[in-house]
Amino acid sequence: MTDTTSSTSAPRGRHLAALALLAFSHLIISLDYTIVFVALPSIRTEHGWDAAPILAAGLAAVLLLAGFVAIERRARDPLLPPSLFAAPGLAPGLAVILMFSATFGSLLYFLAQYFQAVLRFPVWQAGLAYVPLYCVIIVMSSLGGHVAGRLGLRHGLLIGLVSGGVGMLLTAWAMAGASGYTGLLPGLLLYSAGMGMTFTVMFATATTGVPAHRQGVASGAASTCQQLGSAVGIALLVPLSQGGPDMAHALAAVHVTAALGVAAMIAIVVWRVQPRLPAGREITLDIEVHK
* pLDDT per position as a tens digit, 97-116: 999 999 999 999 999 999 99
- Percentage of the chain beyond pLDDT 90 is 45
Which are the contacts of 26, defined by CB distance < 8 A and separation ≥ 6? 60, 64
Q: Is residue 140 packed enough to be buried (19+ CB in 10 Å), middle (13-18) or exposed (0-12)?
A: buried
CA dihedral 32, 34, 38, 40 (to 10 degrees): 50
Higher pLDDT, 274 or 12: 274
37, 57 in Cβ contact below 8 A? yes
**Residue 38 confidence (pLDDT):** 61
Largest Cα separation within the chain, whole Å, is: 76
Tell me which DSSP letter residue 78 carries: -
Euclidean distance between the first and final Cα of the chain, in Å? Answer: 17
Q: List, for residues 177-213, the tens digit of each pLDDT value.
A: 888 999 999 999 999 999 999 999 999 999 888 888 8
**pLDDT tier at 271, thresholds 50, 70, 90:** very high
- Tell me what pLDDT residue 39 has: 59
Report how far residue 180's alpha carbon sits from residue 189's, in angstroms, rounded to the nearest whole number. 15
State whether the Cα torsion 183-198-238-47 is positive or negative.
negative
What pLDDT is attached to residue 216?
Answer: 87
Q: Measure CA 203 to chain center.
A: 11
SS3 content of the chain, % helix, strand, coil (to 5): 80, 0, 20
Distance CA 95, CA 111 (A): 24
Q: Note the pLDDT of residue 2.
A: 46
Distance CA 68, CA 71 (A): 5
Identify whether the C-beta of residue 153 lies closer than 8 Å to the C-beta of residue 276: yes
**Residue range 141-145: mean pLDDT, rounded:** 90
Segment 22-32 shows an average pLDDT of 68
pLDDT band of residue 283 (cuts 50, 70, 90) is very low
